[in-house]
Amino acid sequence: MKLIRARRNQLVFDIGRREKRLLDEILGLYPLVPPAHYRLSKNVPAGQFVEHQRLLEESLAAQRQENRKNVKSLLDEPGRYQATPTGFLLKVTRPETEWLLQVLNDVRVGSWIALGSPDTEQGEKILLTEETAPQVRSMEVAGAFEAVFLDALTGRAPG
Amino acid sequence: MLAFKCIWTNEQGKNVVRVQVPPPAPVFALRVAAWQASFRRLGSAGVPAALDSCARTFYLPSMAATATPEVRPDIRREERTDSRTDLEPGYLVICWNDPVNLMDYVTHVFQVVFGWPRQKAEVHMLQVHNEGKSVLARESLEKAEFYVHQLQRYTLHATMERDQG
C-alpha cells in the first residue's frame, strides 16, 4: 500500500488485493481495547473521580460507536475502493485518516494487551506460539498500516 | 474643581476678611459681595458670624455639588507573591510511556490534540520515551479532563494528576 496522490483534503492510496483483505480484517477487529483499560488518573483515589471516570467511559463508548459506524461505512461503501488492474485505489479524506489511525491503534494496543502487555523495552519477549500468533499478527499489521497513514499525513510518504 | 480661600486678618486695627473665589464662579462672587456688605454693616463683631456664613455659602454647598468622593485603592508592597499553584488548584496532563505506541504516532497525536508544531510534539514524545512520562499541560480540572479524553481516544496512556508543586 502506498500513497499515490495527496490533495488538500484527500489522500489516494494504491492498495493491493491482499493488502485490502488484511486492512478489512484488521478494521473488522475493532474495538479490542477493554473499556477498563482507560483510567482518568493514576494517583488520585478512584473515589474522588467517580463521576469524571464515568464521563470518560461514556465519552469513549460514544467515540467507539462512531468509529464502528465509520469502519462499517468504509468496508461497505461502494466506490470507496476503485478497482485497478493490480488492486484498488483507496480514497480517504484527512479527517477519515484521523479516525482510521484511532481504529488501527486500538487494534494494535488491544492486541498487545491481549498478549499480556509485555514490556519489550525492558527486555520482555513476545512469545510467538500458536495461541499468541493472531494477536502478534494483528498488532504488527495494524502498526504497518498506521505507519503508511502517518507518513501520508505528514507528507513523508514516498511519492 | 471649585476652591475658595477665606482669610481673616487684622490690619491696622481693622478686621479684614478676604474671600477668594475662582473666576468661573459668578454666582458665588455675587454672594461674596453681599456677604462683604453685611460685614461692613456689622463691623468686627460680625466676623465670626460672617466666617460661618462664608463657610455655609461656599464650602458646604460646593462640597455637596461638586466634590465627589475619590476612593483610591490601598497600594502596598507585597512581601511575597502567591504562585499560580497557590492561587488555583491545577491538574497535570501526563502521558506515560508504553512499548506499543509508535513514536511517530505519539508525535502526531500531540500535534493534533494540542495544536503543537512538530518540533515541540517531538520533544514531549522523546521525553515520554526516555523518561517514562511527560507533563503535557497544567490546566483546570475540566480542561485537563478534556485533554485526557482526547489522548485516550487515540489509545495513548494519559492521565491527569493533581499538581502538588
- Choose the weakest-confidence range: A86-95, A122-131, B31-40, B105-114: B31-40
Partners of residue A121 in chain B, C-beta under 8 Å = 97, 99
Nearest CA distance, A40 vs chain B (angstrom): 5
- List, for residues B122-144, the tens digit of each pLDDT value: 999 999 999 999 999 999 988 99
Confidence check: pLDDT of B68 > 90: no
- Show the cell assigned to A48: 474522588
Using alpha carbons, select from A92, A76, A85, A88 the residue that is nearest to residue A152.
Answer: A92
Contacts of B35 (CB under 8 A, 6+ apart): B19, B50, B53, B54, B57
Partners of residue A112 in chain B, C-beta under 8 Å = 99-100
Query: Over the range A46-84, which residues count as b (16 or more CB within 10 Å of their CB) and which as e?
Result: eeebeebbeebeebbeebbeebeebbeebeeeeeebeee
Residue B84: the pLDDT is: 60
Closest chain A residue to B158, measured at CA: A40
- List, for residues B89-101, the tens digit of each pLDDT value: 799 999 999 999 9
**Cβ neighbours, 10 Å, residue B9:** 9
Contact A105 B105 (CB under 8 A): yes
Mean pLDDT confidence for B19-39: 57
Residue type, A58: E
Nearest CA distance, A68 vs chain B (angstrom): 13
Q: Would you place residue B36 in the very low, low, confident or very high pLDDT band (cuts 50, 70, 90)?
A: low
Confidence check: pLDDT of B5 > 70: no
Mean pLDDT confidence for B24-31: 54
**Cβ neighbours, 10 Å, residue A122:** 7
**Alpha-carbon distance B147 to B116, whole Å?**
13
Confidence check: pLDDT of B48 > 60: no
Confidence check: pLDDT of A131 > 80: yes
Name the more confident of B30 and A50.
Answer: A50
A154 → closest Cβ in B98, B108, B141: B108
Q: What are the backbone dihedrals phi and psi of residue B113, each rounded to the nearest 5 degrees, phi first? A: -75, -40
B102 → closest Cβ in A33, A52, A147: A147
- What is the value of pTM for the model shown? 0.71
Partners of residue B141 in chain A, C-beta under 8 Å = 52
Contacts of B93 (CB under 8 A, 6+ apart): B135, B136, B137, B138, B139, B144, B147, B148, B151, B158, B159, B160
Residue B113: the pLDDT is: 97
How distant, in Å, are the alpha carbons of B18, B115, B158 from that of B154?
Answer: 87, 15, 10
B interface mutation test: which of A105, A112, A122 has the most B CBs within 10 A?
A105
Q: Would you place residue B1 in the very low, low, confident or very high pLDDT band (cuts 50, 70, 90)?
A: very low
Mean pLDDT confidence for B3-18: 53
B interface mutation test: which of A30, A33, A37, A43 has the most B CBs within 10 A?
A43
Q: Would you place residue B2 in the very low, low, confident or very high pLDDT band (cuts 50, 70, 90)?
A: very low
Confidence check: pLDDT of B114 > 90: yes
Mean pLDDT confidence for A23-32: 95
Partners of residue B94 in chain A, C-beta under 8 Å = 42
Percentage with pLDDT > 70 across chain B: 52
Partners of residue B155 in chain A, C-beta under 8 Å = 33, 102, 105-106, 108-109
Mean pLDDT confidence for A82-110: 94
Q: Would you place residue B27 in the very low, low, confident or very high pLDDT band (cuts 50, 70, 90)?
A: low
B161 → closest Cβ in A41, A109, A121: A41
Contact B161 A42 (CB under 8 A): yes
Confidence check: pLDDT of B60 > 50: no
Full strand arrangement of the beta sheet holding B133-139: B133-139, B91-96, B158-162
ipTM above 0.95, yes or no: no
Residue A7: the pLDDT is: 86
- Show the cell assigned to B90: 491545577
B105 → closest Cβ in A41, A112, A146: A146
Residue A24: the pLDDT is: 93
A interface mutation test: which of B155, B157, B160 has the most A CBs within 10 A?
B155
**Alpha-carbon distance A3 to A158, whole Å?**
7
Residue B11: the pLDDT is: 53
